[in-house]
Amino acid sequence: MFKFLFKYPLSTFANGHIVLLGTWPTWVLWTAIPAAAAGLALLIGSRLRQPGVGLRRPRAGAIWLLQSLLAAVLLLLLWQPAVTTTELKPQQDIILFLLDDSRSMAAREDGSTRQAQAVKALQDGALTAVEKKFQTRLYRFDSRLTRISDLKELRATAPATHIGDSLKQLVDETSDLPVGAIVLLSDGADNSGTVDLDTISALRTRHIPVHTVGFGRERSSHDIEIDEAVLGPRALADSRLAAVIRFHQRGYAGRKSRLTVRDGANVLASREVAFASDGNIQSETLLFNVGAAGAKALQFSVDMLPGEENPANNAVTRMVNVESDKRRVLYVEGEPRWDYKYIRRAEDDDRIVQLVSMLRTTENKIYRQGIQDPKELAEGFPTRPENLFPYQALVLGSVEATYFTAAQRELIREFVDRRGGGLLLLGGRFSLADGGWGVSSLADLLPVVLPDAKNTFHVDPATVELAPAGLDNYITRLVDDPAANVERWKKLPYLMDFQEPGVPKPGAAVLATMDAAGRKMPLLITENYGRGRTAVLATSGTWRWQMNLPVGDPAYGLFWQQLLRWLVTGSPGHVAASVPNQVLLDDGRVALSVEVRGEDYQPVTDAVVEAHIIGPSGISANVEMSPVPDLPGSFQAEWTAEKSGSYVTEVTAQHGDKPIGRDVLTFQRMDGIAENFHLEQNRDLLGRLAAQTGGRYWRPQDLSDLADEISFSEAGVTTRETRELWNMPVVFIAILLLRSAEWLVRRKSGIV
């Protein structure tokens, strides 16, 4: 119908520009139209003033309007309107058809696979129509691009889809060919989730439009899918970890299932979850004990529910390096206190964290515990980085800020900021505001603004309660069930004392609060500072939990072990290696990054850094790492894990002949997993790709118009076409309608 009225298809107008071919200047047209309208208005007005003309003003206005429009149309036709388009030259340009050959295209919907639907859509005439006008080439792609001569070569078995990489490869391979357009037939289930900017930029540089044809349902009717499981890449042996699992579902809103984490066949933790509304991402935290040291591949899963369309996307795997290296915490206590004793006893049960303490028993005597040799701390609190920085965390008890020299206080700052250590300040007679910490040079390190007052420490009872930020925090998790944990905290015995902690700083997290005679205050506040982390526990009276709970109750020990483990876990060694993803899905490329710091934790720029990688089937490789420009102490290397399996990487760094340190990390390549996820058609990605390159997103049933529309492209060999519009049927119909309408008005007024 459109083509009948307008002579040309809609795509001609959508892809073209309207121009006026007349030789007279355009401004004359824009002047002539109002002039004609004004002239007609004068003429009709003068006629109205003549006696005996029985025309009412509204009808006279209607006649004026219809005549003016007619005049405008006629004037426009005098200037010869036309549409110009840039079009591919028939039989000279090449149209590239890319067909997704990954396993997700084998998903069966409405009686046939997605790939069969794609083949049928092409064979139903779309491909033939394009072939009549242009040369064509067929390609299949998954993680790589391969040219095919026949659609029968498609298998839909490949384990991964990399749309961006395939397009990039295509652009590179056809750089000397007149490519007019790309037609991409896919479900959009790209394993990287996006098409990178480089690829888009390469396409735009050559003006190649990508027409995307989407297959697969845009919404599953019944499915649960895990989107992400977030947990740290490293953990200490026998630590409780908090993993945040994000998932969404369709068709099961309000239903319940079980969230489970497994280490091999061992269930580490499991709990029931109720599903929220369809399609919304839901986050749940799962706490579990990660167990003994070693590289762990933890599987997080949601139990399948009846009728689920794709059970293979209910589980994801994450790698965790569980380390058993001893972590040392230096605890400086200014006076004998019961919590000092009970904290030490709690840490006696921790195989990883060693508590080294120096206690001022008298004015002039320091009692040391947990030292490795008699010389350790013999001179008191360290004054040099090489003596303080071997500890991973520092706990300051009831000790005044002025107990430390200015240089020692600066060393404490660098311990947190540069070395990345943890710092915990406890409440006490000589702590926090009463110890002068609020006016010390270290005040900005603390997660609270301490009160500007004295006598903030009170030997009076205070009850405790979890704060919202503590609900999902593993430091404060005493029992696994979140609701039971809240109740557990409420039932803890009261604290023997408390200290006014002041106001938490923006960015600080209040994990627990206390209530002293109706006055509610933060109890445990944490914050990140520089490369490290700081915390304030505004009491020295938690020991009552140990003495007033039943024998064997783990609450006190668990709390302190978890708090100190949090304090030490993030403290890096001299060599810290990392990879962006520890689980490589169908793609073995891995980017290794290493940070190298010296004894004083200053970046070492001229280190020799090497990674020794051991993988499955005897794979062994030495990779030399290069310094990263503008990032002192950072080194990087790229490597490809060719085979599926676990890889252990030992990174060593040395300066001259002197070893700086080593680090070990693991990663795993898993094949055939990625295609189980994101099975719904990624309409968003396909639409965006088409829009960014000047193409169009197509539904399979609309492909009959593809051959016409694909012609409009600025890529390849093009020609500029000009089509006159004066003879469009719609113009004559418009003129006829305007004249007819005027005749009707005149007749109604009795002047015809």
Interacting residue ranges for other proteins, rule: CB under 8 A: 334-338, 340-342, 344-345, 348, 359-363, 365, 367, 369, 429, 458-460, 496, 540, 543-544, 546-548, 550-551
Name beta bridge partners: 246: 228, 283
Looking at the Cβ atoms of 429 and 565, the one nearer to other proteins is 429
Q: What is 27-62 written as a DSSP string?
A: HHHHHHHHHHHHHHHHHHHHHHHSTT----HHHHHH
Task: Give least dist CB 541 to other proteins, A.
Answer: 9
As a whole number of angstroms, the distance between CA 276 and CA 256 comes to 10
Using alpha carbons, list the distances in angstroms from residue 20 to 23, 79, 320, 724: 8, 6, 69, 9
Are the CB atoms for 636 and 594 separated by under 8 Å?
A: yes
| Alpha carbons 359 and 377: distance in angstroms, whole number | 11
552 vs 544: CA distance, rounded Å: 14
Please compute Rg for the chain using Cα positions: 37
Q: How far is the CB of 375 from other proteins (least distance, A)?
A: 18
Q: How far is the CB of 382 from other proteins (least distance, A)?
A: 21
Q: How far apart are CA 200 and CA 203, in angstroms?
A: 5
- As measured in angstroms, the least distance from the Cβ of 478 to other proteins is 17
Nearer to other proteins, 529 or 543 (CB): 543
Q: Which CB, 199 or 540, lies closer to other proteins?
A: 540
Q: Can you tell me the distance from the alpha carbon of 154 to that of 141, in angstroms, rounded to the nearest whole number?
A: 9
HSE toward the beta carbon, residue 325, CA cutoff 13 A? 17
Least separation in angstroms between CB 547 and other proteins? 4
Tokens 């599953």 correspond to what residue? 220
Q: How far is the CB of 550 from other proteins (least distance, A)?
A: 8
Residue closer to other proteins (CB basis): 102 or 499: 499
Q: Provide, rounded to whole angstroms, the least separation between the CB of residue 465 and other proteins.
A: 21
Q: In angstroms, what is the minimal distance from the CB of 279 to other proteins?
A: 52
CB of 310 to other proteins, least distance (A): 53
Choice between 361 and 722, CB closer to other proteins: 361
Please give, one letter per residue, the 3-state secondary structure of 695-709: CCEECHHHHHHHHHH
Nearer to other proteins, 265 or 551 (CB): 551
Q: CA 526 to CA 496: how far, in whole Å?
A: 22
Q: At what angle do helices 338-348 and 555-569 cross, to 10 degrees?
A: 80
CB 555 to other proteins: min, Å: 12
Rounded least distance, CB 552 to other proteins, Å: 8
| Closest distance of CB 511 from other proteins, Å | 25
Q: In the complex with other proteins, which residue's Cβ is closer, 236 or 359?
A: 359
The nearer residue to other proteins, 404 or 677, going by C-beta atoms, is 404
CB of 161 to other proteins, least distance (A): 58
**Closer CB to other proteins, residue 546 or residue 718?**
546
| Token representation of residue 200 | 């888009």
Tokens of 470: 């503590």
Token duo for residue 451: 């009160």
Which letter, b or e, does each residue of 701-724 get, where b requires 16 or more Cβ atoms within 10 Å of its Cβ?
eebeebbbbbbbbebbebeebeee
Q: How far apart are CA 693 and CA 145, in angstroms?
A: 20
Write a three-state SS string for 447-472: CEECCCCCCCEECCCEEEEECHHHCC
The dihedral of CA 42, 45, 47, 51: what is its sign? Answer: negative
Nearer to other proteins, 411 or 432 (CB): 432
Q: Which strands sit side by side in the sheet containing 718-724, from one edge to the other?
A: 17-20, 81-88, 718-724
Q: Please check whether residue 497 is in contact with residue 456, taking contact to mean a CB–CB distance below 8 angstroms.
A: no
CA distance 377 to 364: 14
Least Å distance, CB 476 to other proteins, is: 22
**8 Å CB contact between 278 and 223:** no
Residue 271's DSSP bridge partners are 259
Least distance in Å: CB of 615 to other proteins? 43
Which is closer to other proteins, CB of 401 or CB of 555? 555
Asked if residues 211 and 710 have their Cβ atoms less than 8 Å apart, the reply is: yes
Output 349 or 487, the one with its CB closest to other proteins.
Answer: 349
State the minimum distance, in angstroms, from the CB of residue 320 to other proteins: 30
CB of 341 to other proteins, least distance (A): 5
Nearer to other proteins, 373 or 630 (CB): 373
Of the two residues 457 and 677, which places its CB atom closer to other proteins in the complex? 457
Strand partners, 259: 271, 302
Q: Which is nearer to other proteins, 78 or 366 (CB)?
A: 366
630 phi-psi bin (left φ>0, alpha ψ -120 to 50, beta other):
left
Instruction: Pick the closer one to other proteins by CB: 320 or 355.
Output: 355
Nearer to other proteins, 365 or 720 (CB): 365
What single string gives the DSSP state of each residue in 534-570? Answer: EEEE--S-THHHHHHSPTT--HHHHHHHHHHHHHHHT
Cross-sheet strand order for the sheet of 589-596: 575-578, 589-596, 634-640, 626-627
